[in-house]
Structure 1
């Protein structure tokens, strides 16, 4: 549950940090991310999307399964190995991945958390 909360917070904070530049404070690194596979990173992104989008849209998570799966799949597929390594070090997306995540939010008709 802590990991899911960190991803949800990380998605919101990281996306906000992208929009505001790299000067925004980021959450502390998540040591549980160190050994995650791509599918596991995708699952974290999916679950974080469900939490964040349900809050942003004021709708039940169940109604967001398909668009959040779209978002997670697109984002993870677009990540290079260096971006995966960066995620494993911190537990959240770096600047390059955040740009891809924002594009995925738009393509999947989800709200940007900014």
Structure 2
């Protein structure tokens, strides 16, 4: 039951991030992003990966007009690859703002292409 609650909270946080910032999928420029997300302050790399994965599922299923299950594997590839490629500074920048900075965004674009997803 606790795992289910944690999963639901993480999913909601990822969805909230997607709706409010839209940056977990490496889209747009930081000049137009909203205020920092205080919930990102203490996230581990794994938790950042979960946010990116959840946001990817929602965004890519809409972009590709398919189910979330159909994009599960490519979104896992994207989230793991992007977060694993991030430097300590990029991870800290995510914690400070709740979205990818410019250098992490470029890595995100690279993994969107590598994992055969659509660019937003």
Structure 1 residue 7: Cα displacement: 2.7
* Cross-structure match for 1:33: 40
Query: Can you list the C-alpha shifts for 1:23-46, whole angstroms capped at 9, x where unaligned?
Result: 4x1022110100000000000000
* Cross-structure match for 1:11: 23
Aligned equivalents of 1:49 and 1:11: distance in 2? Answer: 10
- Alignment CA distance shift 1:71-1:12 (3 Å): closer
Task: Give the aligned CA root-mean-square deviation in angstroms.
Answer: 1.7
Query: Which ranges of structure 2 fall in alignment gaps of 5 or more residues?
Result: 1-10
* Cross-structure match for 2:61: 54
TM-score of the superposition, structure 1-length normalised?
A: 0.87
What is the number of equivalent residue pairs in this alignment? Answer: 108
TM-score of the superposition, structure 2-length normalised?
A: 0.83
SS in 2 for 1:110: coil
- 4+ long deviations beyond 6 Å: none
